[in-house]
Structure 1
Amino acid sequence: MLLLLAMLTWLPGTLPLAGSKWPMVAIVVLLFPIFGAALVRILLSGADRHSMWLAFRCLPGRLQAVLGALAVSGVLVMLLSTAGAGTLQSPEIKDGRYFAFDTASHARGTIEVSHSEYEAILESDQRSMFAIPGMLFTGAAYAVFAAGQLRRADLGFRSP
């Protein structure tokens, strides 16, 4: 869902939830426990990266395809987003004027920007805000499914 929202930022106009902070709060509140649980599950399995990859390869083909498509789309969104992004980030409105933080080494600081630049920077920030956690959730799903496959293989190996 997050990767879809990241892709929707390329459509004309801004997303309706551009000004609200609750999406980021919800992402953070969900991301840390889910990603943490996935990491714990990997650590408890005691498997190395090669074993995890082999376990992933034993998953059903459709699941592999979905996880692969999510990972590739997340990487593409980030690459396309960073390729088109300039040195401006963190847009804000103060007293009816639009500002952004310029990260260029020679002009580091907050500068005033036009309304159209403000919207472009806002969309770029939203794209990153949705794409990065989307890729982390995809990685967590990969870890959980692969660790589950390893556990299933271990249980099948132990039973007579």
Structure 2
Amino acid sequence: MNIRVLNKNETLPLDLLLLADPSEKLVREYVSRGQCYILENDGVVIGTYVLIVTRPETVEIVNVAVNEDYHGNGFGKQLVLHAIEMAKQQGYKTIEIGTGNSGVIQLALYQKCGFRMTSIDRDFFLRHYDEQIFENGIQVIDMVRLSQDL
């Protein structure tokens, strides 16, 4: 397993990014502003995350995704912990992440990685997505925001 920056000449792992965010338009927009990292297994990309600078000394993980065939093996946690380490190495003081109100697995993962809930962006997914999104049988409406001091 190897986590590394996606080079500019490499193909964006759009299929993986769309697992975590169904809007191709939004994904392409924030990837263009950030840095995409990939998790490879024997040369095959099985996971990804994107970091973007949001404010001075603050960076946000805006997408974390693992190929569904590899779920439950700790790769999501590896990606989040790698993102935290990259943020520290790059001198950021705070790292943030957000997930939908129905993302119970994600909320547990992020808290296990040291994040704390900071706020709720009410109606975020209603404002930014044309189609309704459902996860775990619950409509995704609000963005739960979490952060961690580095």
What TM bracket, shorter-length normalisation? under 0.3
Please identify the structure whose Cα radius of gyration is greater.
1
Structure ranking higher in strand proportion: 2
TM-score normalised to structure 2 length: 0.22
Greater relative contact order (CA < 8 Å, ≥ 6 in sequence): 1
Structure ranking higher in helix proportion: 1
TM-score normalised to structure 1 length: 0.21
